[in-house]
Amino acid sequence: MPHLATSAIVCAVRAHGEHGAIVRVMTPHNGLVTGYVQGGRSRHMRPVLQPGNIVQATFRSRTADQLASLTVEMIHSRAPLLAEPLPAAAIDWTCALTAAALPEENGYPALHQALDAVLTAVEAAPAARGWAVALVRYELLLLAELGFGLDLDHCAATGDTEDLRYVSPKSAAAVSAAAAMGYEARLLPLPPFLVRGGEAGWPDILDGLRLTGHFLERGIFVDRRRDVLAARERLLDRLKRAVA
């Protein structure tokens, strides 16, 4: 990618050298792209290079194999939210998940749109009820885009489309209440909002996060990048405190 100019969402920033930073951003059409920002650790650039911010990103490189140089200009800052523990944890996890899970320079327009929607929801309603459902749906979409999608349309055992209550932790397929009888403890609860849509209460939201968490650990974070999952644990801990 010799040259690319696009809006982008900052997802991850890593110090490089004495003054620079390696930055990963999510773009609308090119997916996750990485570049080197000279002076990225400066007082001027630190507020710009915050996860969740929207920037105008310009990448330049001499060859396709070379790490591109990156210049950024602020379009929209979400940095004020980072002073609030719960919104900060949500932004931290969602951006860290995106940066760690996606391959480089593969377009995921639906994921870019969904990521922006989750971050916009966090910004519009810092109270978690306003964005937690969107976060669960984002995790489900990311799993599907990477080939680990859940089959929630019908019961794996009977084919029924009604009264779907559980998900098999092995097959990632829905199971009806009748088919699950006697095996409920071995299955993961399927919250109704993932089948019928609409709003959700906290028990269902937490069940949704447990469901997606199981398949994220099994499919994407198997024996690697455990530090990324620590960001999710911080978010879950703060959510549980908020609803206690």
The structural domains of the chain, with segments of one domain joined by +, span: 3-79, 80-243
Phi/psi at 121 (5° precision): -65, -40
pLDDT, one tens digit per residue, over 61-81 is 877 678 999 999 999 999 899
Phi/psi at 185 (5° precision): -65, -20
pTM above 0.85, yes or no: yes
Element at 37 (helix H, strand E): strand 31-37
pLDDT, one tens digit per residue, over 25-52 is 999 999 999 999 999 989 899 999 999 9
pLDDT at position 224 is: 61
- Asked if 3-79 and 80-243 have one fold, the answer is no
The whole-angstrom separation of Cα 237 and Cα 244 is 11
Nearest in space to 204 (alpha carbons), one of 221, 188, 185, 216: 188
The answer on pLDDT for 170 being more than 80 is: yes
| Structure-block tokens of residue 216 | 């994220």
DSSP track, 210-222: HHHHHHHHHHT-T
C-alpha distance from residue 86 to each of 52, 125, 131 (Å): 14, 11, 11
* DSSP 8-class letter at 98: H
Burial of 164 (0-12, 13-18, 19+ CB in 10 A): buried
Nearest in space to 107 (alpha carbons), one of 30, 194, 205, 221: 30
Sheet holding 188-189, edge to edge: 151-155, 173-176, 164-167, 188-189
pLDDT at position 76 is: 97
pLDDT at position 129 is: 80
* DSSP 8-class letter at 67: P
The answer on pLDDT for 225 being more than 70 is: no
Summarize the confidence of residues 181-209 as an average pLDDT: 94
Architecture of domain 80-243: Up-down Bundle (1.20)
Architecture of domain 3-79: Beta Barrel (2.40)
Q: Which of 132-136, 202-206, 212-216, 225-229 is predicted with the least confidence, judged by mean pLDDT? A: 225-229
C-alpha distance from residue 15 to each of 19, 39, 130 (Å): 8, 10, 33
pLDDT at position 25 is: 98
